[in-house]
Amino acid sequence: MRRRLGGTGREIAPLGLGCMGMSWGYAERGRDDARSAAVIRAALDAGVELIDTAGVYGDGRNEELVGRAIRGRREDAVIATKGGLVVDDLASRRMHRDGRPETLLRQVDESLSRLGVERIDLFYLHRVDERVPVAESWGALATAVEAGKVRWLGLSEVSVAQADAAHAVHPVTAIQSELSLWTRDPLGGAGETGAGRGTGAAGETRAAGGAGAAGGAGGGTEPGGDLLGWTREHDVSFVPFAPLGRGYLTGTLAPGEFEDDDFRAANPRFTPEAFARNRAIVDAVSRIAAAHGATPAQVSLAWLLARSERIIPIPGTRSGAHLAENLAAADLELSGAELGELDALPAPYGSRY
C-alpha cells in the first residue's frame, strides 16, 4: 500500500495531510492551533508522513504551527512546503507571484527557520512566475538542494511544458495540482468525462490569478495537459490538492453556510445555484459510499488512489475524527463498475476559482 515518492527511492504512506485550512483559506472562527497541532500529531501516530504546508498559508503561521507540531517527531514526517508566492495583505489573502532566484532562496531560509528543521524534505515552486523562466526559478531551488537546505523539489499547478523545462534542469520529485472527482484538469482530457472542463479551463486558470486566495495567485500561467500521464512517464509523484473538493464532495456542506472570511463564500462552485446544479455529483458519490458502509469523503479519496500508483492525496482537515475517516479510505476498494460510474460523472457547474 505504500507509494514511491518520485524517483527518490523513499516509500511513504498513500495519504498525506493538508494543513492549509488550519491557518488560511477556511473560516477563521474554526481555527484552533492547539487542536490543529494535535491533528498533525495524530496523523503521524497513524503513519501519515507527507505533511503539506506553504510559506503563504497565514503568512508563515501555518509553517510555524507545523514546526511546533512535529517537534520531537522530525523523523516521522516528510515535510513539504512551498515558495514563490508573496502575501500582500493577510486579511484579504491577496498575494502575488515572485519566482526570482533571490526571493526563492530567501523563502527557503524563512521556511527552515519557521519549521525549525535543518532541511526541508520537499520544496515546491507554488506557482510559476510569468516574468521568470521556470528553469531560472528551478535552477535557484536546485542550488538550495546542493546546499543541503532542501532534499527534493516539486512543482505546483504547472503545464506539461513547464514540467519538462524544470525536469531538464533538476529532477522533479512531485507535482501538486488540484485533482478530484469534480476537478480533472490534470488528466488533460485523456479518456475522461471532462469534469472540470465544462466551465472552460482557460477561464478557470485566469480567475485563479485574482480570487484564488486559498491557493492560487497572480494569474496567467496555464496549468494543463496530461500532467498525471507526465508523472507516470517521468517517475514523479502526483499530489492532488483539494481532493475532497474543498469539502463539497464529503456531502456535509450546505449552501450559504460560509462566513465572509471563508474562501468558499465567494467561490463560484459554492453558490446556492452551484450547490443545486452539482447535486447529481455528490448524490452519486453518496450512493456508492452507502453500498460500502463508507462515507462520500472515503469514496472520493479511494477513487483518486485507484487512478494511479503515482497519486498521494493530501486531504485537509482540522478535525481528528475527519482525519481518521479519511485515512480509512486507503482500505476501501471500489469495483470496476463503480470506478466507471465515478469516471462518468458530469462536469461541475462553476469555475474552481
Ligand X SMILES: NC(=O)c1ccc[n+]([C@@H]2O[C@H](COP(=O)([O-])OP(=O)(O)OC[C@H]3O[C@@H](n4cnc5c(N)ncnc54)[C@H](OP(=O)(O)O)[C@@H]3O)[C@@H](O)[C@H]2O)c1
Residue type, 160: V
Distance separating alpha carbons of residues 289 and 87, to the nearest angstrom: 39
Nearest distance in Å: CB 15, ligand X: 11
- Cβ-Cβ contacts under 8 Å for 90 (sequence gap 6 or more): 58, 59
CB of 51 to ligand X, least distance (A): 9
Q: Which of 141-149, 164-172, 199-207, 315-323 is the region at the interface with ligand X (rule: CB under 6 A)?
A: 315-323
Task: Residue 177: name the closest of 195, 155, 162, 202 by CA.
Answer: 155
Please report whether residue 236 would count as binding ligand X according to CB under 6 A.
no
Binding-site member from 8, 81, 137, 156 for ligand X (CB under 6 A):
156
- Segment contacting ligand X by CB under 6 A, of 163-171, 220-228, 278-286, 320-328: 320-328
Binding mask 282-301 for ligand X (x = CB under 6 A): ---------------x----
Half-sphere exposure of 304 (CA within 13 A, CB side): 35
- Determine which residue in the list 26, 152, 238, 349 makes contact with ligand X, applying CB under 6 A: 26
Q: Give min distance, CB of 127 to ligand X, in A.
A: 7
Q: Which span sits near ligand X by CB under 6 A: 19-27, 96-104, 107-115, 141-149?
A: 19-27
Instruction: Say how far apart CA 337 and CA 343 lie, in whole Å.
Output: 10
CA distance 332 to 283: 19
Residue 79 grid cell: 515535510
CB of 180 to ligand X, least distance (A): 6
* C-alpha cell recorded at residue 162: 513547464
345 counts as binding ligand X under rule CB under 6 A = no
Local structure of 175: helix, strand or coil: strand
Q: Does 52 bind ligand X (CB under 6 A)?
A: yes
Sign of CA dihedral 283, 273, 189, 137: negative
Residue 349 appears among annotated catalytic residues: no
Taking the alpha carbons at both ends of the chain, their separation in whole angstroms is: 33
3-class DSSP state of 136: helix
Which range in 1-9, 108-116, 221-229, 316-324 contacts ligand X by CB under 6 A? 316-324
**Closest distance of CB 137 from ligand X, Å:** 15
Catalytic residue among 26, 57, 248, 349: 57
Is there a contact between 18 and 50 (Cβ–Cβ < 8 Å)?
Answer: no
Q: CA distances (Å), 115 to each of 21, 55, 69, in order?
A: 17, 10, 9
Q: Please identify, using beta-carbon distances, which residue of 152 and 241 lies nearer to ligand X.
A: 241
Q: Which of 69, 314, 342, 345 binds ligand X (CB under 6 A)?
A: 314
Strands 11-12 and 3-4: antiparallel
- Subset of residues 165 to 184 that bind ligand X, contact rule: CB under 6 A: 176
The footprint of ligand X on residues 110-149 (CB under 6 A) is none
Among 88, 200, 210, 252, binds ligand X (CB under 6 A): 252
In the bound state with ligand X, the residue whose beta carbon lies nearer, of 8 and 183, is: 183
Task: Supply φ then ψ for residue 314, to 5 degrees.
Answer: -125, 70
Q: Which residues contact 98 (CB under 8 A, 6 or more apart)?
A: 84, 85, 86, 129
241 binds ligand X (CB under 6 A): yes
Which residues participate in catalysis according to the annotation? Answer: 57
Instruction: Please give the residue ranges that form the binding site for ligand X (CB under 6 A).
Output: 18-21, 26, 52, 156-157, 176, 214-215, 241-247, 250, 252, 297, 314-319, 322, 325-326
